[in-house]
Structure 1
Amino acid sequence: MESREKRAKMMGEADVRKVLTKLAIPGIIAMLINAIYNIVDTMFVGMLNNTSAIAAVSVVFPMFMLIAAIGQMFGVGAGSYISRLLGEKNKEQADKTTTTTFITSIIFSLAFTVFGLIFLQPLLRAFGATDTIMLFAEDYARILIIGSIFTIANMVLNNMIRAEGNAKFSMIAISIGALANIALDPILMFGFDMGIKGAALATVLGQGLSFLYLINYFVSGKSFIKINKKYFAPSKPMYSEILKIGSATFARQALASLSLGLINVAARPYGDAAVASMGVSLRVFSLGVYVVFGYNQGFQPIAGYNYGAKKYSRLFEAIKISLRTTTTFTTIMTVVFMIFATPIISVFTNDPDVVTIGSRTLRVISILFPLFGFQQVYASLFQSLGKGKEAFLLSASRQGIFLIPAILILPKFMELDGVIFSQVVADFFTIIVTYILSRKLLNKLKNEDINLKTS
């Protein structure tokens, strides 16, 4: 018990840079592995030498993001609330939140499975499936939907484990599932001749292994926060705390899903190669995006804990370090994507049209990536501090408020280039909104710090 309490208190006492490193590195590794096995899935599907099959993976990806949106809604919302409760030394409420969130997420996952299977074809059409893509997309999506309970539960459990400060365990759990997926892909796809169905089944089996590892952490008593039926205590105030942050995360993920679907639909008139190239380039780009997300998984509990404990100097230091670190990384990745776009895309396919369109897309969407860390650090900060309205606005801006109109308008004037440049336009306006909100927040936090010191 002593070591668990030390782990829970670490975020408010140890050197900020060291704590950030300790919590961020496992998150980065876990998210990178997630990005890599998504990419590996695409690589193995590319070995089928069928552009429509690669395009099917692109079409189903928005649906997978929709599944993830449910998990992130409960996971991030509960994680933010739990980290603040631990900072306030309110462990009993943290245990109730942990148990209630887990059970509620399972109920939602079952409901989504039924919904997804009933409306599978209309959803795939909405996400950009053509007649030639549909056959592959149905096979791939149906298996992922059936296994969505593992995807959602894993996201909830991982976020709650990180909230108590055990990012390393979360990393191991994600790694187990991802490595199992990578190992099973060639076995099921080619050894058992399952094709694209094998890629989907490998993903579900990997997620299932992760779930067993995660739930054992709570059942065996290793966790600081607890899952136990005696702590199941749903209440309006609890759900309000979870959803005021979780809804912003859901909005970001759901809008990202919708936006990717609209990108596929906008690319559809230019052929299956255009749809496939969008999916490949965006998955490659996700390597950089997921590293920033992983870093912020370490930043978020530190920010939430120290805000709850009213340790403002530590909060300011964490913000400063995080901005520098993420900006340095995103700048380096921008240079890599710009220089090596063509050889990177060529790894996935030998279709010259996919390579040409995909490499151009990768370069264009990287233009404003150096400022992506700035966007995401403040988006995570608003989540950590329980400021749902601002978190929602930032989450909705990049993937919805600005991106969706760009996708709908630009292709009318620029054709396929309009699809390619839509994310850059959205990023530009999101940066402006982030700057305005960040200035207001920092001024407010500084005033709170001054009032605390003078009281």
Structure 2
Amino acid sequence: MASANSQNLGKKPIGKLLVQQAAPASIGILVMSLNILIDTIFVGNWIGSTAIAAINVVLPVSFFIAALGMAIGIGGSSIISRALGGDDRKKALKTFGNQISLTLILTITLVIIGLMFVDSLIPAFGGKGDIFEPAKVYYTIVLYGVPFLALCMMGNTVIRAEGKPKFAMIAMIIPSVGNLLLDYIFINQMGLGMWGAAWATTASYLFCFAYVFWFFVSKNSELKISLPDFGLNKSILSEIGSLGFVTLSRQAVVSIIYMLMNNILFDLGGEDSVAIYAIIGRMLMFALFPVLGVTQGFLPIAGFNYGAQKYQRVKESINTAILYACGLGLLVFGGIMFFAEEIVEIFTQNPKIIAETPDAMRWVFAATPIVAIQLIGAAYFQAVGKAIPALLLTLSRQGFFFIPLVLILPNYYGEIGVWISFPIADLLSTLLTGYFLNREIRLKMKPGTSQ
């Protein structure tokens, strides 16, 4: 039998459950986003705007490798949630063991390859001109810690699948606080520049890994795996891969977008334009934390109840999550529209960046109130194990729509073409996701289905 923690996902009122799951997830994402945000502020004010651009160049590579852990975590956690919902504890344990083995094998391999081709990768991702040297310093050091980050991302989703979001929240807070403290010591007090920023980030990954490791070996976790569970199982790996590929594909597209944006903006406006995108990118990570928190909180609720064949509860969780997330998205939209100038001035004193970033930021956030529909819709198909629609809907926003737009529109409208690509892609992907989600609800969750 699954424990009371996971069984609560099928019994408590949906609204209350969503708040309980989403609030810790939102807080964790908030703290993690604040970490990235304040880290950027520290770097911009203590090192310079070129350093902001350098970190932005490194992000696609480190994010992609770390995303392997997230993909394996979310793919496996969907299996674990449904297994716990169906009282199949043996499958849940075997899945977790396979998640750990797969994460280690893939991330270590990619780190080795990443270090071998450092001088080729950095320019390819936009690290040109004055950006190259600080980007190389940051990249080389941070890459050593990325496997630990991948394990943390994987473990965090499993903790949430067990119905213990508060522990998942703490796992996200620890590295954020550690990174900020070390940033202050290494950059401000010791004057170590990019070297200090990189080691502060890498050390924060180690702090997070230590906490996640403690959680799973302590009495807090239901998943007490043994050595045989680490042995790779073909059917489980296939299911993890098919579901995790959704997340990995999304993160791969994010990395491609960073590469395209860095190169396009460097050609249009040089280092300052890359720095503008870096600031907007940090705000996207930070400002959307409540919407992303609702999405994370929704996943285990939908997955558990779908596994338990309580389809009306699944439908209720979809509607409630969209309502909450859209409301929060509207608040984010208002904050960006009214305070864009004040936000930018926190990051830098560069006059060009201060003058040009606010309008660009407003365009990027223009469709924020409706983005929740796209996020929740894609998350639903992932939570219930429908990999193909989850993959297509996840890729629709940034892959199928945004990439073609950002390749075409700047040819006619310059930098403004880059920024208006964001809301157009958001609108098109939301309409597409809304159609498929509505069809799924009508066909699968008719009145009279299992409660």
Please give the TM-score of this superposition, normalised by the length of structure 1.
0.96
Instruction: Give the superposed CA RMSD.
Output: 1.5
Whether the aligned pair in 1 keeps the contact of 2:98 and 2:231 (CA below 8 Å) is yes
* Superposition pairs of residues 242-253 of structure 1, within 5 angstroms: 242-253=240-251
Give the secondary-structure state (helix, strand or coil) at the position aligned to 1:271. helix
**Residues 268-302 of structure 1: CA distance to partner in whole angstroms, max 9, x if unpaired?**
02111100011101211222333222221111000
Report the counterpart of residue 5 of structure 1 in structure 2.
3
Report the counterpart of residue 15 of structure 2 in structure 1.
17
* Superposition pairs of residues 22-41 of structure 1, within 5 angstroms: 22-41=20-39
Give the secondary-structure state (helix, strand or coil) at the position aligned to 2:191. coil
Report the counterpart of residue 288 of structure 1 in structure 2.
287
CA distance in 2 between partners of 1:357 and 1:68 (Å): 32
AA aligned to 2:326 is T
CA distance in 2 between partners of 1:104 and 1:452 (Å): 36
- Is the alpha carbon distance of 1:288 and 1:444 closer, same or farther for their aligned partners in structure 2, counting shifts above 3 Å? farther
AA aligned to 2:394 is S
Give, in angstroms, the shift of residue 191 of structure 1.
2.1
Give, in angstroms, the shift of residue 452 of structure 1.
5.2
CA distance in 2 between partners of 1:368 and 1:98 (Å): 37
**Residues 26-72 of structure 1: CA distance to partner in whole angstroms, max 9, x if unpaired?**
10011111111011111111123522112112212222321232111
AA aligned to 1:67 is I
Whether the aligned pair in 1 keeps the contact of 2:294 and 2:324 (CA below 8 Å) is no
Give, in angstroms, the shift of residue 445 of structure 1.
1.6
Whether the aligned pair in 1 keeps the contact of 2:46 and 2:187 (CA below 8 Å) is no
Moved more, 118-127 or 397-406: 118-127
**Residues 188-239 of structure 1: CA distance to partner in whole angstroms, max 9, x if unpaired?**
1132221112112111111111111111111224211223313224222101
- Is the alpha carbon distance of 1:9 and 1:197 closer, same or farther for their aligned partners in structure 2, counting shifts above 3 Å? same
Report the counterpart of residue 193 of structure 1 in structure 2.
191
AA aligned to 1:135 is E
1:357 and 2:356 correspond = yes
CA distance in 2 between partners of 1:111 and 1:44 (Å): 32
**Residues 384-439 of structure 1: CA distance to partner in whole angstroms, max 9, x if unpaired?**
01011111011111121111111111111111111112212211221121122112
Q: 1:138 aligns with which of 124, 136, 139?
A: 136
* Superposition pairs of residues 304-383 of structure 1, within 5 angstroms: 304-383=303-382
Report the counterpart of residue 121 of structure 2 in structure 1.
123
1:420 and 2:419 correspond = yes
Aligned length: 450
AA aligned to 1:327 is C
AA aligned to 2:34 is I
Whether the aligned pair in 2 keeps the contact of 1:68 and 1:253 (CA below 8 Å) is no
CA distance in 2 between partners of 1:451 and 1:11 (Å): 18
CA distance in 1 between partners of 2:172 and 2:163 (Å): 16
1:262 and 2:254 correspond = no
Report the counterpart of residue 45 of structure 2 in structure 1.
47
**Residues 73-95 of structure 1: CA distance to partner in whole angstroms, max 9, x if unpaired?**
10110111110111111011100
CA distance in 2 between partners of 1:359 and 1:228 (Å): 53
CA distance in 2 between partners of 1:272 and 1:451 (Å): 57
Give, in angstroms, the shift of residue 444 of structure 1.
2.2
**Residues 308-350 of structure 1: CA distance to partner in whole angstroms, max 9, x if unpaired?**
0011121111111111100000011101101100110110000
Report the counterpart of residue 405 of structure 1 in structure 2.
404
AA aligned to 2:401 is F
- Is the alpha carbon distance of 1:49 and 1:200 closer, same or farther for their aligned partners in structure 2, counting shifts above 3 Å? closer
CA distance in 1 between partners of 2:197 and 2:146 (Å): 15
CA distance in 2 between partners of 1:222 and 1:451 (Å): 35
Whether the aligned pair in 1 keeps the contact of 2:312 and 2:445 (CA below 8 Å) is no
Extract structure 1 runs of 4+ deviating beyond 3 A: 449-453
- Is the alpha carbon distance of 1:156 and 1:22 closer, same or farther for their aligned partners in structure 2, counting shifts above 3 Å? same
CA distance in 1 between partners of 2:225 and 2:361 (Å): 43
Whether the aligned pair in 2 keeps the contact of 1:285 and 1:362 (CA below 8 Å) is no
Q: Tell me, which stretches of 5 or more residues in structure 2 are unaligned?
A: none
Report the counterpart of residue 301 of structure 1 in structure 2.
300
Whether the aligned pair in 2 keeps the contact of 1:71 and 1:152 (CA below 8 Å) is yes
CA distance in 2 between partners of 1:216 and 1:228 (Å): 16
Give the secondary-structure state (helix, strand or coil) at the position aligned to 2:3. helix
CA distance in 1 between partners of 2:226 and 2:439 (Å): 41
CA distance in 2 between partners of 1:421 and 1:187 (Å): 40
Give, in angstroms, the shift of residue 136 of structure 1.
0.7
Give the secondary-structure state (helix, strand or coil) at the position aligned to 1:383. helix
CA distance in 1 between partners of 2:243 and 2:397 (Å): 17
AA aligned to 1:394 is L
Q: Tell me, which stretches of 5 or more residues in structure 1 are unaligned?
A: none
Q: 2:112 aligns with which of 114, 118, 126?
A: 114
AA aligned to 1:227 is I
Whether the aligned pair in 1 keeps the contact of 2:312 and 2:450 (CA below 8 Å) is no
Report the counterpart of residue 68 of structure 2 in structure 1.
70
Give the secondary-structure state (helix, strand or coil) at the position aligned to 2:283. helix
